[in-house]
Structure formats: structure tokens, C-alpha cells
Chain A
Amino acid sequence: MRNVFTIVRKELRAYFVSPIAYVVLTGFLLLGGWFFFNLLSRFNVLLSIYTQLQQGAEDQLNLNEFVIAPLMHNLSIVLVILVPMITMRAYAEEKKGGTYELLLTSPLRTGEIVLGKFLASFLFICIMLGLTGVYPAVLIAFGNPEIGVLLAGYLGLLLLATSFVAVGLLTSSFTENQIIAAVSGLVATLLLYIIGWPADTAGEVLGPLLRYLSVTEHFAEMVNGLIDTQDLVYFASLILLSLFLTQRSVESLRWR
């Protein structure tokens, strides 16, 4: 475990001593703020229209459904693009810079390297999502969103981001070129995001399968406040499978 923490510290340091962390965090919050501002002003306009039309109609509008849920869906799309850019350097940079030789000739187990890099990116994602907490905090201070639904949504967002991290690290472990790592990571995360689209017309067997494979399906359930074991299992499997394949990919260098 000690080695895992050493790697985690080194990776987090790499994010925060370089401009990477600040650029990514600023960009993410900027986009998030823009979404939040727009959703909130739309909500305001809707609210005033509804109250003019009919007494008590504003009860049909709630913050969860009209602000928080769309905000989370928007953020999830940003994550599809941003996460592969966060993870692209993880292995590719080490291979290009020659430090991969240092890691692999040190008495480290492959699993420790893989786990360390994963945990570091996971913590980074936690910081990223944690900072978006200001938006719901504003809503809680001035309105009355349902906290339970909000938390379920955040859990969904975190699981979605963590899965993307695991997938992004996997693609990074295949190559020494950061652009290839980012592009293939983006293709993979985007594919996970849209794979459910043809589900309605794909037939009885393929349809449900595609729907099950889609991150969006499981994520949407959680944004609606529904934490189902099936969704948790889906995310856990995706994360563990990617980590396992990453471990194999790193280890493959040692195969005869």
C-alpha cells in the first residue's frame, strides 16, 4: 500500500505543480457556471410565467427537475471530453519521457502502479466535482431542492467520471503518444455515452443489451434519484474491468 500512496502523491503533484490542474478546474467550473446560470434564469422565467397563468402552478416546477438534473447531464457531457484529457498523460508521458523504465525496473508491483495512478486521477475528479458543489449550495441556500435526489445525482456523476477515468487510463496505457491516448479515450467514453441510442429500434435482444451497456441509462436513473444495485454493479464492473485490462497492458511488457 505504501508504494500506492507514493505513486498517488507523485501523480497529484504532477497535476498541481503544472498548469494542468488549474486549467482543467477553471474550464470545468466556467462551463458548469454557464450551464447553471442559464438553467437558473430559464427556471426564473418559467416560474414567473406559471404564476401569472394560474395560482399555485409553481408547485409543478421543482429545482431538481428543472435545474439540477439538466445541469448534471450537461456536466456529464463535459466529462466525456475532459476526462480523457486528464488521463491521457498517465502512461503515455512516462513512456515517452523514459520514466517508464524507472517505474518498471523499480521493485513495484504492476498493480501498485495501476492503482496509484487510478486513485490519483480519482481524487482529482473528486476535487473537480466537489468544486461544482457551489451550484447546489446556492440552490439550498435560496430554495428547497430535495437533498436525497441531489446526492444520488452526485453519486451518479462521480461513478460516471470514475468509469471514464478508468477507461482513459486504459487507453493511455496502450500508447506512448498522448494525442492517441486522448483521442482513443474520447472515442471510448463517447461510445459508452451514445451506445444506447439505437436501442429502441435494435430489436428485442440487442436493444436491451445496448441500453444496458450505455452509461447514460444508468446515470440518468441516479440523477432521477434512483440508486439501483443494477446501476452500481454496472459502474463497478466497468471500473474493475478497465483497471484489470490496464494492469494486463502494463504487465504485458514483461511477458516472454
Chain B
Amino acid sequence: MIEVQNLTKRYGDLTAVSDISFQAESGQILGFLGPNGSGKTTTMRIITGFMPATAGTVKVAGFDIFDESFEARKRIGYLPESPPLYNDMTVTAYLRFVARIKGMARADIPDALDHVLARCGLTDVAYRVTGYLSKGYRQRVGLAQAIIHNPSVLILDEPTVGLDPQQIIGIRSLIKELAGEHTVILSTHILPEVAQVCEKVVIINAGKVVAEDMLANLAQDQTLEDVFLKAIAQEEPGAAETVEEAAE
């Protein structure tokens, strides 16, 4: 379970994320939508403990990411925007390294490795060097490193960007399979992806939550495109800052 409360991140005068709150229940796939530059990546980096928030709290599986960071980080699998690969390592060596720094017991690693290689379709490239893999395979290795330690929470930042249609279908069905055992936050700006994969949707624009509901409720009598366009049209980009300035 993931609880985000009143999260704010400022870089100097620039407010990247402003007072965001939402929740993802256990086993749920939450689609995190927003135009480019709306603060999706910043929010995810805060949830994973990579950077601190200026204000607000995040709880991951019951642990505060700031105060109990170590415990929280044990339970997170994270695929950043570009997969964090060491280009001179083979897929197997890389995944083994990740498994170890995620705190897995040495004895559990071989099984987890086989499992994740099969699940992400990496068996054929297991001994290839990651630097020479195609974009699709790199993305899959990235996904494999996020799930190898069987974390209860998965944070995926645009996992299907740059993949071909077949690979996109593969990754989507993999993410769907992961629901139930993992709580997933899936950031994207590809709307059909959300419609196919997610149960709950949070839309942010200019650093603020503009819509949060179950997909079924949101897309009841209109398409997700309409919902999205309406939501981000409510506030023009830059409006957030203007409102804040006025308040001050």
C-alpha cells in the first residue's frame, strides 16, 4: 500500500509538485497520468526515497519513506525512466548484483533469478552484456531488476516508452500479472495503456492532482481521453504558480 499525503517539492522558486495526496490500495495498479513536465517523475523519485520532499509524507507498506527509509526501501521495486543498467555487466551478473543490494539471502537468489529471467523473457539474453541489448530488452532487464526481490510495492516510470507494439503488449500483460501480489504505480502519458491495465487513475497537471478516481467511475460515460483533456484544461499550466503568488 502507498499513501501520499500533502506532498510538495520545490526547487528554489519553482514548485514541481504542490500538495499532492493520493492512495494506492494493496494489490492495486494505479495509473499516474499527466502531461510531460507535470511532476510525475519528481513524485516517483520522492516515493522511492531517491530525493526528499519539501513537505508532506509518503508511506510505503506502512513505513515512512523519510523516517523509516531503510525499511521502506526494502519493499520497493523501482524502474526509473531510463533503466538503471551497468553497461559492462551481463544480464545475469547485473540481476544478481541487484538481488544482493536489495538484501536478498544468497540462497534465494538463483531461484529468483531463473524466475525473473523467464517471466521477463530474458532467458535468451541471460549472458549478453546489457550495453549491447536493444531498447526493448534493456527495458525488460529494468523491469526484471525492479521485481527480482519480490517487493510489495512497484514504481514504474513510463515502462513502455520506446518499445515496439509487440513488446508493449508483452510488458503490459506482465504488469497486469503483477497486480494482486504487488501494489503498482504506473506512470505514463499513454492513455490506452491506462485503460487496459489500471484500476485506479490519478491525473496530475502542473504539480497538482486534478483527478483521482477508479477507472470505472471516471470513464463511465466518456472516454479516458475526454476525462484527461478536461482535467488538465481546468487549470492552465502555470496557473498553480499564479494562484500561489496571489495567496502570498
Give the interface of A toward B (CB within 8 A).
Answer: 2-3, 6-7, 10, 13-14, 17-18, 97-109, 253-256
A256, B83: Cα distance in complex, Å: 26
Restricting to B86-114, which residues have a CB under 8 Å from any CB of A? 86-89, 93, 97-98, 100-103
CB distance from B8 to the nearest CB of A (A): 11
Of the listed stretches B69-77, B186-194, B199-207, chain A binds: B69-77
When the two chains form their complex, are residues B101 and A101 in contact, meaning their CB atoms are under 8 A apart? Answer: no
Q: Chain B residues near A7 (CB, 8 Å)?
A: 101
A6, B93: Cα distance in complex, Å: 12
When the two chains form their complex, are residues B52 and A103 in contact, meaning their CB atoms are under 8 A apart? Answer: no
Q: Which of A6, A14, A254, A255 contacts B101 (CB 8 A)?
A: A6
When the two chains form their complex, are residues B88 and A18 in contact, meaning their CB atoms are under 8 A apart? Answer: yes
In the complex, how many residues of chain B place their beta carbon closer than 8 angstroms to a beta carbon of chain A? 34
When the two chains form their complex, are residues A97 and B102 in contact, meaning their CB atoms are under 8 A apart? Answer: no
Chain B residue at minimum C-beta to C-beta distance from A112: B101
Q: Which label, helix, strand, loop or mixed, suits the secondary structure of the A interface?
A: helix
Chain B residue at minimum C-beta to C-beta distance from A255: B52
CB distance from A250 to the nearest CB of B (A): 12
A254, B83: Cα distance in complex, Å: 21
Q: Which 3 A-B pairs have the closest CB atoms?
A: A102-B84, A107-B74, A105-B48
Q: Chain A residues near B32 (CB, 8 Å)?
A: none
A6, B97: Cα distance in complex, Å: 7
Known: A101-B78, A101-B80, A254-B52. A106 touches B89 (CB 8 A): no
Q: Which of A10, A97, A107 contacts B70 (CB 8 A)?
A: A107
Chain A residue at minimum C-beta to C-beta distance from B73: A107
CB distance from B15 to the nearest CB of A (A): 15
When the two chains form their complex, are residues A256 and B52 in contact, meaning their CB atoms are under 8 A apart? Answer: yes
When the two chains form their complex, are residues A253 and B101 in contact, meaning their CB atoms are under 8 A apart? Answer: no
Question: Taking the complex as formed, is B49 at the interface, i.e. its CB lies under 8 A from any CB of chain A?
Answer: yes
Chain B residue at minimum C-beta to C-beta distance from A5: B100
A256, B53: Cα distance in complex, Å: 7
Q: Chain B residues near A254 (CB, 8 Å)?
A: 49, 51-52, 69
Q: List 18 A-B contacts (CB under 8 A).
A: A10-B86, A10-B97, A13-B93, A14-B89, A98-B84, A99-B86, A101-B78, A102-B145, A104-B50, A106-B73, A106-B101, A106-B102, A107-B101, A107-B102, A253-B50, A253-B51, A254-B49, A256-B66
When the two chains form their complex, are residues B101 and A105 in contact, meaning their CB atoms are under 8 A apart? Answer: no
Q: Chain A residues near B82 (CB, 8 Å)?
A: 98
